[in-house]
Amino acid sequence: MISKTLISEPTFEDRTEKTVDQQWADFSPIVTGEDYLQSIRNRGTLLYLFGEAIDEPADHPIIKPSINALKKTYDLAIEDPDLATAYSPYISAPVNRFLHIPKSSEDLVQKHKMQRRLGQLTGTCFQRCTGLDALSVLHSVTFDVDKKYNTQYHKRYIEFLKKAQKNNVLISAGMTDPKGDRSKRPHQQVDKDMYMRVVERNDQGVYVTGVKAHMTGGWNQHWICVMPTMNMLPEDKEYAIIGMIPVQAEGITFIYGRQSCDMRAMGGGNIDQGNVHFGGQEVLVFFDRVFIPHEHVFLDGEYEFAQELVTKFTAYHRASYVCKTGLGDVITGAAASIADYNGVEKVSHIKDKLVEMVHLNETIYSSGIASAHEAKELESGAYMNDIMLSNVCKHNVTRFPYELSRIAQDIAGGIMVTMPSEADYRSEEVGKIVDRFLRGRDDIPTEDRMRILRLIENMTLGRNAVGYLTESMHGAGSPQAQRIQIFRGMNVEEKKQFARDLAGIKSKK
Ligand code: SF4
Ligand code: FE
C-alpha cells in the first residue's frame, strides 16, 4: 500500500493554488450514499495509517466503517426525508438536514431526533454533526463581525453555504490545536505552529500552517472548516483565522488515529468486530502552508470573536451529543438481548437494571431536547440551543454512558471478554466445542449469542468505545469545560434571594 512519500523538505514553487471556482469544480452534486462513496475516491490525498501512506483510503478495511457511517447520513435523507431533510431558503430547495441552518426551535429538535436515529442505526459516531455545528455558528459569528467592522464575511459565508447545500457536501470541523505548553498563549509557544496561524498572505488569499488534532471524520469528508480552539488576545491575531479548505488541498497530511481493536477489521470474518459495518474516524491533520482563497476566509485577525465562536459552537455541539442516546438505545437493547439469550430477562434485578439504563439514557435526551426547545433567535436570524441546558446535556454524556456500559457488562457476564474467536467457532477441530458450550438458551443459536456479546464488547471496550465512552468524555470539551459554563450561567445570587425571601430574611446578604 506504500505509494507516496512525505516530502521532508517541502518546496512550494510547484504548487498551483486553486481559485474558489476551481475548488468547487472538483465536486458534483451528491444525492445517494453511493454518490458519496464515489466522491471520496481518487482524491490524491496523503493519508498515513500504521506508518504507511495508503493508496486509496476509501478501500481500506479499517477506514471503511467510518465511511459507511457517513454514508448513512445520505441514505437516511432518502429513506426518511421528514426527519433528515429540511427546506433551505438559501437555495429554495430541500437540503440534507446536516446542511440546514436552524431557523427555529423546531429545526433544532428535529436535528436532535435525527442524531438519535442515526446513533440507533450505526451504533457509532457518524461524524457529520461538527460540520453542521460549524456552519450554524458561523452564520451568527460572521454576521456579528461584519456589523462591528463592516467586513464581508457573512456574504462570503452565505455563498459558501449555498454551494455546500447544492452539492450536498460533508464538512468537518478542525478546531482543536495541539496547544503545546498549556500555560502559554498561542503567540508565546516555542513552536509557533502549535496553534494554527496565518503564515503568508497575498492578493488571492492566505496560507495557514498548523495541526488540528483528533478531527472527527477528518479524511472521509469534503471540506475542513478550520477555526480557533479558544479565546484569543491581540498578540494572537495571526491565530484568529477561520476558513474552509478542501480535503484534497495541497499541503495536507492526514495521520489516521488508531482505535481499540481496529486490527479486527483485518482478520476476516464478521463476528469478532461486534459492529462490522460502522465505526468512527479520528485523524491528526497537518496543514503545511495550505492556501485558503479570500472568498473562503470567514475570520482573519478579529481575535476578540474567537471567544464568541467557541462559546456558540459548544452551545450547538454539546447538545449534538444527544447522538449518544441512539447508542444508549443500542447498548440497552444489547443488554436486554443477552439477558434474554441467557434465559434471565424476567429476573427482577435484570429488569431493574434495564430500567436504570433507560432512565440514564432518557435523562441525557431530555437535557438535549430541552436545550433545543429553549433555543433563542440570534441577531443573524439563526437559532441557538440554550447554553445551560446544552452544557448539562454534554455533562450528562461524560458520565452516563459509562454507567450504561457498566450495567451492560454486568448483565453480559465475563464471557464477553473470555470468549474464543470466530475462527475457533468455525474451526473443524474445536468449533463443535465452542458451539455446544457457549450456548445459552437451547432455542437461540450460539452464533447469535456470540454476536451480541461482541457488540457489547465493541461498544464498551472495542472500537466503538472510542465513540461511546472516550469521545463522550472529551468530545466537544472535557467535563471541566462544561462545569465552567454551568458555573458562568448558574446565577447563584438569584437563587440565594429566592431562599432568603422564603426564609423571611430582609437583608440582601
Ligand atoms: Fe455527531 Fe455525536 Fe459524532 Fe459528535 S460524537 S460528530 S455529535 S455523532
Ligand atoms: Fe465528536
CA distance 394 to 472: 8
CA distance 223 to 183: 32
Check pocket membership of 475 for ligand 1, CB cut-off 6 A: yes
Catalytic residues: 125, 129, 216, 282, 317, 321, 323, 471
Fold held by 6-303: Butyryl-CoA Dehydrogenase, subunit A; domain 2 (2.40.110)
Say yes or no: CB of residue 98 within 6 Å of ligand 1: no
Q: Which of 130, 137, 364 to mutate to test ligand 1, by most ligand atoms within 8 A of the CB atom?
A: 130
* Nearest atom of ligand 1 to the alpha carbon of 475: 5
Asked if residue 261 has its Cβ within 6 Å of ligand 1, the reply is no
pLDDT of residue 155: 98
3-state secondary structure of 19: coil
- Within 10 angstroms of residue 484's Cβ, the number of other Cβ atoms is 12
Q: Do domains 6-303 and 314-491 have the same CATH topology?
A: no
The Å distance, Cα 399 to ligand 1 centre, comes to 16
Q: Where are the domains of the chain?
A: 6-303, 314-491
Distance CA 445, CA 269 (A): 17
CB-CB contact of 186 with 240 (8 Å)? no
Helices (H), 56-213: 64-79, 81-84, 105-122, 129-149, 153-167
Mean pLDDT by 10 residues, the chain (509 residues): 44 77 95 97 97 97 97 98 98 98 98 98 98 98 98 98 98 97 96 97 96 96 97 97 97 96 92 97 97 98 97 97 98 98 97 98 98 98 98 98 98 97 98 98 98 98 96 94 96 96 91
pLDDT at 426: 98
Instruction: Establish whether residue 130 lines the binding site of ligand 1, counting it when its CB lies within 6 angstroms of any ligand atom.
Output: yes
Centroid of ligand 2 to alpha carbon of 213 (angstroms) = 12
> What's the topology of domain 314-491?
Butyryl-CoA Dehydrogenase, subunit A; domain 3 (1.20.140)
pTM of the model: 0.95
